[in-house]
């Protein structure tokens, strides 16, 4: 469903009531909203940020469902100007596993970064950021291993993000970060993600759409048969 026709349920805390309203009404101002897709709550000041967060959440949920993975679980997205140190320096968003919630910068702050994955930041990238973080939250409910590796979590999040991204935008990113020869491509490891997170993400997506990737490989990761410690 196009974002422009999404319906949000805005909850009034004091009355304990939820009112259904169309997105164009939400754009006038938002506080706490329940997205139409799944059990996702968004806490944001700007209605457009709510819409993009809900859109990205719907993308991630749709991808998990299409891959026959568990996608129905409560998710909280908190959009705030300052992110906690646990998210990491320079990050635009992050999933706090212990707290079970997502933190994201508002779009106005995210845009100040200038470029992301080698292309100018726009609303489509912001929606993809939300899809990436929601994928982390959904993956946490699907792992059969107690402590999944960093690369396992990030592989799933990046594959979800690129698989659901606007196709034209995705092609621009793939062109901006060209593929290298197999023998010169680093292994998809925690160290690779630490030092080159964007190239890690693009490499993960290229692996996923290749002969050794696909939905079955995602299930292997979640079961601990691949990318385990």
Domain membership flag for residue 228: no
- Measured distance CA(27)–CA(162) in Å, rounded: 26
Burial of 76 per CB tally in 10 Å (0-12, 13-18, 19+): middle
Q: Enter the tokens of residue 119.
A: 């292309």
pTM of the model: 0.84
CB 120 within 8 A of CB 176: no
Taking 50 as the pLDDT cut, the residues of the chain under it are 1-30
Contact 30, 47 (CB under 8 A): yes
39-71 tens-digit pLDDT: 999 999 999 999 999 999 999 999 999 999 999
- Is there a domain that residue 140 lies in? yes
- Asked if residue 229 is part of any domain, the answer here is no
Which structural domain, as residue segments, surrounds residue 191?
A: 3-223
C-alpha–C-alpha distance, residues 116 and 28, integer Å: 28
Domains held by the chain: number: 1
Tell me, what CATH number does 54's domain have? 1.10.390
């Amino acid at each position: 469903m196009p974002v422009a026709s999404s319906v949000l349920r805005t909850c009034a805390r004091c009355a304990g009531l939820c009112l259904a309203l169309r997105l164009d009404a939400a754009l006038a101002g938002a506080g706490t909203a329940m997205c139409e897709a799944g059990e996702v709550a968004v806490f944001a000041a700007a209605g457009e940020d709510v819409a993009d967060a809900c859109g990205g959440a719907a993308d991630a949920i749709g991808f998990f469902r299409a891959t026959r993975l568990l996608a129905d679980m409560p998710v909280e997205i908190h959009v705030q100007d300052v992110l906690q140190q646990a998210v990491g320096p320079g990050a635009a968003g992050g999933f706090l596993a212990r707290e079970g919630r997502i933190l994201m910068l508002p779009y106005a702050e995210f845009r100040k970064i200038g470029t992301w994955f080698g292309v100018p930041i726009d609303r489509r990238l912001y929606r993809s950021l939300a899809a990436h973080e929601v994928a982390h939250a959904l993956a946490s409910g699907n792992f059969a291993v107690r402590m999944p590796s960093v690369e396992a979590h990030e592989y799933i999040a990046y594959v979800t993000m690129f698989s659901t991204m606007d196709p034209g935008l995705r092609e621009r990113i793939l062109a901006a970060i060209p593929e290298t020869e197999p023998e010169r491509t680093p292994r998809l490891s925690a160290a690779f993600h630490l030092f080159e997170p964007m190239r890690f993400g693009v490499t993960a997506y290229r692996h996923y759409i290749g002969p050794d990737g696909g939905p079955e490989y995602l299930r292997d990761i979640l079961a601990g048969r691949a990318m385990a410690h």
